[in-house]
Amino acid sequence: MVTRSTIMDTNSFRAEHADALSGDIRALVEKRSRLLGDSYRLFYRNPVHLVRGERQYLWDAAGRKYLDVYNNVASIGHCHPAVIEAVHQQMSALNTHTRYLHERIVNYTEDLLALVPEQITKAMYMCTGSEANDLAIRVARAYSGGTGIIVTREAYHGTSELTSGASPALGSGQPLASTTRLVPAPDPYRVDAEDLGAWFAAQIQLQIDDMSAHGIKFAGFLADSIFSSDGVLPGTSGYLQAAIDVVHANGGIFIADEVQPGFARTGEAFWGFARHGVVPDIITLGKPMGNGIPVSAMLARPEVLAAFSDTIPYFNTFGGNPVSIAAAQAVLQVIQEEQLQEHSRVTGAKLLKELTLLGQRHETVGDVRGAGLFIGFELVSHRGDKTPDKARALNVIEQLREQGVLTSVAGPHGNVLKLRPTLAFQEHDIDWLVGALDRALTLSV
């Protein structure tokens, strides 16, 4: 039996919803279905036809305004003027690849590396997070001499052959690699452990031992430090250290997938991994670094990267091109000039407080957790036994859409609202979000 993809199929339009659509939306859906590959998915039973964005807001073709509480790709806000201007200026001058000299890539890299631990001194550029994680796995294997990769049970790390083989969130229709092993996510709401860090470290050791028993040498642990696809699990700062110690003790490396928790989103630190005081061996970055412009990166300790780069030349035609790097540089400047890390910390804490109070008023809310502007809002049918309520979560998502709030769900049960607005989200937006959620929870009973 093929299980649905939690990140692709849970909150998606399906053919049986077509009869309820308005004429223009139905016509566009049908045209899209006729022309595009069937692997694509649309959000919502009634898909949203977007035509414009500005900071934390989006508008559809009918002129209706929405609050975007899901799109981290436009990390500093939709159509940020600083990114538009930087891209326009560079596009007007030159766009080429990294086999020619250009100041932008080295200047940006210098600025970027200044923000990571001093042990990490090398950067390589691609166009997507999938490519960054793909290369990271190749580097991990070259350095360790092994092939085994450990990820969490609902992880998502990309769509290439290597990364999809380490992305169980894509569903059973996409088989995992024989060298991939899964560990349960460190979920303090559902895991009964006195010491979550020690428990998680033990889970990793069990899978390393299983690899060894099957003749597979361990290469590394690949994780998004807020475990977003597993249901948004920030946990207590610092608990990941024990797990990383186990990884290193067994000859593997830690790859920190920062596509979602990086670039000031968690508020407590500029990087998700930095909340835990750990130093990764490799850091991977994705499109939020360019506010949606196709750019990604892999940052690494030089000795780790050398095992790959000393023997294998690598070239990504437009990874790190001047236009994409101009966008990335603008993003860094905006984060610093607009103090978005502090903004994320303060505004996120206020939002988390209001959502927690809201949860206390609704019996269907099991848990509310988050760091900065990255919050998981978990729905259950019974608080006592924490029974996941996927059906209610999906109904709430649809109700929110009708009230002009866009978000989606996460977690293995599809019952966690993934609240991840752009960093342009403001304190005055909290009332819109919390009020809409309050009404949606009431209507879904």
* Pair (125, 262) in one structural domain: yes
26: helix, strand or coil: helix
pLDDT at res. 8: 67
- Lookup: tokens for 148: 């085994």
- Does a structural domain hold residue 15? no
- Does a structural domain hold residue 176? yes
* Pair (217, 70) in one structural domain: no
Taking alpha carbons only, the member of 168, 150, 148 closest to residue 158 is: 168
- Does a structural domain hold residue 354? yes
Please determine, for residue 1, whether its predicted confidence score (pLDDT) is greater than 60.
no
- Does a structural domain hold residue 175? yes
181 close to 252: Cβ distance less than 8 angstroms: no
* Pair (179, 241) in one structural domain: yes
Residue tagged 């989606």 (tokens): 408
* Pair (432, 285) in one structural domain: no
Please determine, for residue 2, whether its predicted confidence score (pLDDT) is greater than 70.
no
- Lookup: tokens for 346: 């303060």
- Looking at 304, 337, 370, the residue that finishes a domain is 337
* Pair (267, 361) in one structural domain: no
Q: What is the pLDDT of residues 269-282, one digit of tens each?
A: 999 999 999 999 99
Please name the amino acid found at residue 224.
Answer: D
* Pair (291, 314) in one structural domain: yes
Q: What is the pLDDT of residues 61-84, one digit of tens each?
A: 999 999 999 988 999 999 999 999
Residue 181 main-chain phi, psi, to 5 deg? -125, 145
How far is residue 108 CA from its own chain's centroid?
Answer: 23
When pLDDT is averaged across residues 192-208 and rounded to a whole number, the result is 97
In angstroms, the CA 256 to CA 132 distance is 11
* Pair (216, 108) in one structural domain: yes
> pTM, whole model, 2 decimals?
0.95
99 Cβ contact partners less than 8 Å away, ≥ 6 residues apart: 315
* Pair (121, 239) in one structural domain: yes
| CATH number assigned to the domain comprising residue 108 | 3.40.640.10
344 close to 373: Cβ distance less than 8 angstroms: yes
- Does a structural domain hold residue 12? no
Q: What is the pLDDT of residues 379-428, one digit of tens each?
A: 999 998 999 999 999 999 999 999 999 999 999 999 999 999 999 999 99
Q: Which residue has the higher pLDDT, 182 or 21?
A: 182
Please determine, for residue 243, whether its predicted confidence score (pLDDT) is greater than 60.
yes
| CATH number assigned to the domain comprising residue 397 | 3.90.1150.10
* Pair (188, 140) in one structural domain: yes
Q: What is the pLDDT of residues 88-127, one digit of tens each?
A: 999 999 999 999 999 999 999 999 999 999 999 999 999 9
- Does a structural domain hold residue 24? no
* Pair (235, 309) in one structural domain: yes
Residues of the chain above pLDDT 70, percent? 98
- Does a structural domain hold residue 22? no
- Does a structural domain hold residue 31? no
* Pair (427, 307) in one structural domain: no
Name the domain count of the chain: 2
Q: Which domain holds residue 360?
A: 48-76+340-443
pLDDT at res. 224: 96
* Pair (266, 348) in one structural domain: no
In angstroms, the CA 371 to CA 273 distance is 12
The length of the chain in residues reads 445
Q: What is the pLDDT of residues 346-367, one digit of tens each?
A: 999 999 999 999 999 999 999 9
pLDDT at res. 195: 96
In angstroms, the CA 110 to CA 136 distance is 20
In angstroms, the CA 54 to CA 274 distance is 30
Choice among 2-6, 15-19, 225-229, 418-422 with the minimum mean pLDDT: 2-6
Please determine, for residue 32, whether its predicted confidence score (pLDDT) is greater than 90.
no
In angstroms, the CA 122 to CA 137 distance is 16
- Looking at 337, 371, 399, the residue that finishes a domain is 337
pLDDT at res. 239: 96
When pLDDT is averaged across residues 246-257 and rounded to a whole number, the result is 98
- The average confidence (pLDDT) of the chain is 95
The CA radius of gyration of the chain, in Å to the nearest whole number, is 21
Ramachandran region of residue 414, left (φ > 0), alpha (ψ -120 to 50) or beta?
A: left
- Looking at 337, 357, 385, the residue that finishes a domain is 337
Please determine, for residue 343, whether its predicted confidence score (pLDDT) is greater than 60.
yes
In angstroms, the CA 375 to CA 379 distance is 13
When pLDDT is averaged across residues 5-12 and rounded to a whole number, the result is 71
